[in-house]
Copies of this chain bind each other. A is one copy, B any other.
Amino acid sequence: MRRARREQAVPDRRDEASAVPAERGSTHVVESRLTGPVRVVGVGLLGTSIGLGLRARGVEVILADASPTHVAIAVDYGAGRAPAAGDEPELVVVCVPPDVTADVVAAELAAFPNAIVTDVASVKAPILAALRERGADVSRYLGSHPMAGRERGGPMAGRADLFVGRPWVVAAHEDISYRRAAIVDDLILDLGATLIEMTPEAQDLAVAIVSHTPQVVSSLMARRLVDAPESALGLAGGGVRDVTRVAASDPGLWVQILGANAPAVAEQLRAFRDDLDRFIEALDDPAAPGARRRIAEELAGGNTGVERLPGKHGVDRRFVALTVMVDDRPGQLARLFEDVGAAGVNIEDLRLEHSPGAQIGLAEIAIVPEARERLIEELAVRGWRIAG
């Protein structure tokens, strides 16, 4: 993995790019390094968001889609203009469903012999292999994968800021030159994303581990709830909600994603199943010698794994949690955060919990440990009730 080739090469530009999110509400247009028009093929959530983001940087955007209605909506939305005869895009971004991405990339490479073509599908190696197989000019193709999405799809869900602060993988390969690849970096940095360079194989393994396998595990866990007694669901707490949250994802899209990355995901699921088999065996005779030790070791392995996740979510040892009771009415959270801010404490993470029927919720805020005692005191003085 190599991070942000362009960031390193052009530090002043990086400063500009990272300055954008810091200026809240800014409408200042920072000029793009992209000079020619960018053609976006497929104006769903990602394509429309890319168009909106580039338009905000003053880039000329051409919007193409199998559905003229979608193009019309995206044009009205300000994401670019409809295609015209003689269009000569500098860059083509293919944002169509995974199943047809290779076909569309090949067609765009053929239609625009001077353009660099990228795509945003979540699995990269099969697309590159398919293009090579059919003799497409991969010296002008560089696949990429933005780690961004929303529950809602379609052009109306598009947002200029969808990619800001998100990782965006560039799936580097040997057949495209450094000079040609730079335009894909420009696209990514223009949209405020964090560029991460990996081989297609490394990226596909990475998403198998951190995205596709968790999706399958979450869906299969949620399936257990289908026949659960109503009374059991009444006891559901934050744990099962967390584990099953992504199980709400669109099966139609995920069939395509999992199909494209099937070998890598199946390998992860097989390793998961091996652990599961050992676990079930231990549970079937928990009094057997070593059974409890095996259970404890599997659980401790989970501790180790979750500690490896970076960032502010999950178990982050840099922060401690404080749970504050909040009345369930407008303005209460505002009062809480005002009081926390007034104490000079930054909220690093936050979760809200609310039991059915209760008049109050619990706001769990993560803060730096050294602020904990002081904040407890300050909040108590202001009448807040600390639940933990």
A interface, over-half SS:
helix
Q: Mark A340-375, 1 if CB is under 8 A from B, else 0.
A: 111011111111111111111110000000000000
Q: Which residues of B contact A111 (CB under 8 A)?
A: none
How far is B209's CA from A222's CA once the two chains are assembled, in angstroms? 10
How far is B27's CA from A319's CA once the two chains are assembled, in angstroms? 30
Query: Which of A87-95, A100-108, A271-279 is the interface stretch?
Result: A271-279
Q: Is A383 an interface residue (CB 8 A)?
A: yes
Contact B194 A358, beta carbon cutoff 8 Å: yes
Contact A211 B239, beta carbon cutoff 8 Å: yes
Interface size class of A (residues with CB under 8 A): 35 or more
Q: Is A224 an interface residue (CB 8 A)?
A: yes
Q: Is A29 an interface residue (CB 8 A)?
A: no
Which residue from chain B places its CB closest to the CB of A217 in the assembled complex? B221
Stoichiometry, as copies per complex, reads: 2
Specify which of B18, B243, B252, B276 is in contact with A242 (CB 8 Å cutoff). Answer: B243
Which residue from chain B places its CB closest to the CB of A338 in the assembled complex? B334
Contact B234 A167, beta carbon cutoff 8 Å: yes
Contact B360 A165, beta carbon cutoff 8 Å: yes
Nearest-neighbour CB distance to chain B for A185, whole angstroms, equals 16
Q: Is A131 an interface residue (CB 8 A)?
A: no
Q: Is A25 an interface residue (CB 8 A)?
A: yes
Q: Which 10 A-B pairs have the closest CB atoms?
A: A219-B302, A331-B341, A25-B383, A165-B358, A206-B232, A225-B305, A334-B337, A222-B305, A247-B302, A1-B231
- Interface CB pairs A-B, < 8 A, 10: A161-B388, A162-B388, A164-B358, A165-B355, A211-B237, A217-B220, A226-B304, A330-B341, A333-B341, A350-B351
